[in-house]
Structure 1
Amino acid sequence: MITSFQDLLSARPPWSTVLVWYLRLMALLLLGAGVIHWARIVGVVPWRDVWFWDMPLSWQTATVFFGVLDLVAAIGLWLTVSWGTVMWLVRAFSQILMHTLFWETFGQRPYEIAFYLITIAIFLLLLYLMERENRAIR
């Protein structure tokens, strides 16, 4: 029976398993984002009331870029291979750069930037905890 926070921590699965669950959750989010991007590209839904063929070239380029990158990163994260994590980080930092350096074109989205920074911080924390646990086992 779990009666304290310490009992809860001792009853949890290994940090490596928690990290895999986290990466798969991120994979599901990216899969959804990729499907939304492709729905915009093929003309199922508009983005901010603008259809893909009416978007400026910069928006079209970003939509196709993230439509491909999201799905590739989702597959890699689900399989928990290293290139999946790299693709996810490239995607997150690309979004951060878009909405900070090129905000005149793509708009400022502070909540989205905060989301990416928080998800990266959680990933780094879980990676650290997993490595610490692996060292303790050795």
Structure 2
Amino acid sequence: MIVTLQDIVRNRPPWSTVLVWYLRVMAVLLLGGGIIHWARIIGIEPWRGLWFWQMPLEWQAATVFFGVLDLVAAIGLWLTVSWGAVMWLLRALSQVVMHTALADVFGRRPYEISFYVATILIYFLLLYLTERENRT
């Protein structure tokens, strides 16, 4: 049985369903990230050979900030509520700013920045396709 791209497009679920599953995948990733941040905070896992209490103050603040924000955003994304997407966008954009404008403190991470920008663009594309599908 040969499946063509047209068959896949024709038989796909509604864009709203695709958006919900995308948000839930992002929620699982954020949940994992939040757990890793809290493992660093409570002393289960070091970061780059440093325990939480040995990290510079900026890194401690960032670890706590993302530890809380990741879990809050994960819950909101899983529930597909609007504040969840806002928290996730705040988190992703904070990470981008952290590794661009504050790169002298937090270091440059071009792959991480690319990942966040790509996930944001995919989110807005799926949101646009969902709204367009709902209008017709």
Could you say which residue in structure 2 is the equivalent of 1:118?
118
TM-score, normalising length: structure 1: 0.96
Gaps of 5+ in 2: none
Shift in Å, 1:3: 3.5
Shift in Å, 1:2: 6.6
Matched length: 136
Could you say which residue in structure 2 is the equivalent of 1:6?
6
**Distance in 1 between residues matched to 2:88 and 2:117, nearest whole Å:** 12
CA distances 1:35-60 after superposition (whole Å, capped 9, x unpaired): 00000000000011111000011000
Question: Runs (4+) of structure 1 moved beyond 6 Å?
Answer: none
Counterpart residue identity of residue 97, structure 1: V
**Distance in 2 between residues matched to 1:125 and 1:11, nearest whole Å:** 19
Counterpart residue identity of residue 100, structure 2: T
**Distance in 2 between residues matched to 1:84 and 1:58, nearest whole Å:** 26
Could you say which residue in structure 2 is the equivalent of 1:48?
48
Could you say which residue in structure 2 is the equivalent of 1:66?
66
Could you say which residue in structure 1 is the equivalent of 2:34?
34
Could you say which residue in structure 1 is the equivalent of 2:83?
83
Counterpart residue identity of residue 18, structure 2: V
Task: Judge conservation of contact 1:2–1:8 (CA < 8 Å) in 2.
Answer: no
Gaps of 5+ in 1: none
Shift in Å, 1:4: 2.2
Shift in Å, 1:7: 1.5
